[in-house]
């Protein structure tokens, strides 16, 4: 596990041993999914398989009562890729990166081809971090809705059990405003019924607060890399070709990697609310 923070255009990494490393960022251009409004913060709800405490420099001391009226909501499951799967997945990312230019690692935005030069950094940075599966749309909410949303989510999701998620298929997705294209791993079998039920529960809470529900036919996935713009057509061809030439069959019976998930958390801005925890956590 590592933590990262950004200073200027250099990303610093802190490993388990506390040592520092860094990677140059190419400062890729990204387009906001929402127009910027001062005081807007994100709410995240997710299911981590490992709970850990962020270092102090991540903590923002702004109080919610000092913020204007709107915050953003995003609901996600958190998962980690098991070590046994990282090597083969790293090789796949290398092959795709050699054909598709200007790919960046999701969230930290480090150029993927830079990481591909050193296998240990590829596995540590691109595959060793926390990944998210969306349970709901990212939507703006009012500050006075926070307590109600958190309470209802706790009521509907508090008795969730831990389960395994199988990622069976490499897939290409594009965001709603068609500004970025993503290389992702899709959940096709194991864990799909459980995630679907959780999405339905979140939809019920959203509906009661007049918020837009999730996609009609959700396709749970984690995203590993992204390219700027709407390039899904050419990107998908490369992924399909590399999938055929590799050991990843993408069938219902096979799995590329698997992860066990547990409790659900809700993050509003810089605040995290534990919706539920597994009995063994």
- Boundaries of every domain in the chain: 38-51+65-276
Q: Tokens standing for 254? A: 């096979």
Contact call for residues 45 and 267 (beta carbons, < 8 A): yes
Contact 166, 190 (CB under 8 A): yes
Q: Which fold has domain 38-51+65-276?
A: Cyclic Phosphodiesterase; Chain: A, (3.90.1140)
- Residue 92's SS3 state is helix
pTM reported for the whole predicted model? 0.75
Tell me which H or E stretch contains 151: helix 146-157
Give me the pLDDT at residue 229, please: 93
For residue 264, give the nearest of 149, 157, 134, 164 by alpha carbon: 157
- Hey, what long-range contacts does 31-37 have (CB within 8 A, 24 or more apart)? 31/177, 31/179, 31/180, 33/138, 33/175, 33/176, 33/177, 33/179, 34/72, 34/138, 34/140, 37/68, 37/70
- Pick from 273, 136, 132, 271: nearest CA to 208: 136
Which candidate, 45, 14, 60, places its Cα nearest to that of 135? 45
Q: Which residues are catalytic?
A: 132, 221
Q: What is the pLDDT along the chain (281 residues), one digit of tens a residue?
A: 333 333 333 343 434 443 334 444 445 555 555 555 555 545 555 555 433 333 333 334 444 444 445 666 667 778 889 888 999 999 999 999 999 989 999 988 899 999 999 999 999 999 998 888 888 887 788 888 889 999 999 999 887 788 899 999 999 999 988 999 999 999 999 999 999 999 999 999 999 999 889 988 999 999 999 999 999 898 999 999 998 887 655 444 578 999 988 667 777 777 878 887 755 55
Look at residue 247 in the predicted model and tell me its pLDDT: 60
Cα separation of 64 and 33, whole Å?
23
Beta strand extents in the chain (DSSP E only): 3-7, 10-14, 20-24, 42-46, 70-80, 104-105, 130-142, 163-174, 180-187, 221-228, 257-261, 264-268, 271-276
> Contacts from 232-238 at CB under 8 Å and sequence distance 24+?
232/172, 232/173, 232/174, 232/181, 234/100, 235/100, 235/172, 235/181, 235/183, 236/172, 238/96, 238/99, 238/100
Q: What is the pLDDT of residue 227?
A: 95
pLDDT at residue 140 in the model: 80
């Amino acid at each position: 596990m590592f933590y990262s923070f950004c200073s200027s255009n250099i990303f610093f990494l802190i490993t388990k041993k506390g040592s520092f490393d860094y990677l140059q960022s190419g400062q890729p251009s990204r387009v906001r999914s929402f127009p910027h409004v001062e005081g807007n913060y994100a709410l995240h709800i997710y299911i981590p398989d490992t709970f850990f405490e962020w270092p102090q420099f991540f903590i923002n001391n702004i109080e919610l009562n000092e913020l204007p009226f709107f915050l953003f909501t995003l609901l996600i499951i958190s998962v980690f890729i098991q070590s046994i799967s990282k090597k083969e997945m790293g090789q796949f990312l290398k092959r795709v990166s050699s054909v598709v230019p200007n790919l960046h690692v999701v969230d930290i935005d480090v150029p993927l081809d830079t990481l591909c030069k050193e296998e240990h950094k590829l596995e540590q940075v691109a595959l060793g971090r926390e990944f998210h599966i969306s349970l709901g749309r990212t939507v703006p909410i009012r500050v006075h809705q926070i307590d109600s949303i958190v309470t209802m989510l706790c009521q509907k999701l508090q008795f969730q059990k831990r389960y395994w998620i199988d990622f069976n298929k490499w897939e290409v997705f594009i965001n709603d405003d068609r500004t970025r294209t993503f290389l992702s791993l899709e959940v096709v079998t194991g864990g799909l019924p459980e995630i679907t039920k959780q999405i339905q529960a979140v939809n019920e809470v959203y509906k009661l607060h007049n918020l837009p529900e999730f996609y009609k036919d959700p396709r749970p996935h984690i995203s590993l890399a992204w390219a700027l713009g709407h390039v899904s057509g050419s990107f998908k061809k490369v992924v399909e070709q590399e999938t055929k030439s590799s050991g990843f069959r993408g069938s219902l019976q096979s799995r590329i990697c698997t992860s066990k998930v547990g409790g659900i958390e809700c993050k509003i801005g810089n605040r995290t609310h534990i919706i539920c925890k597994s009995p063994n956590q």
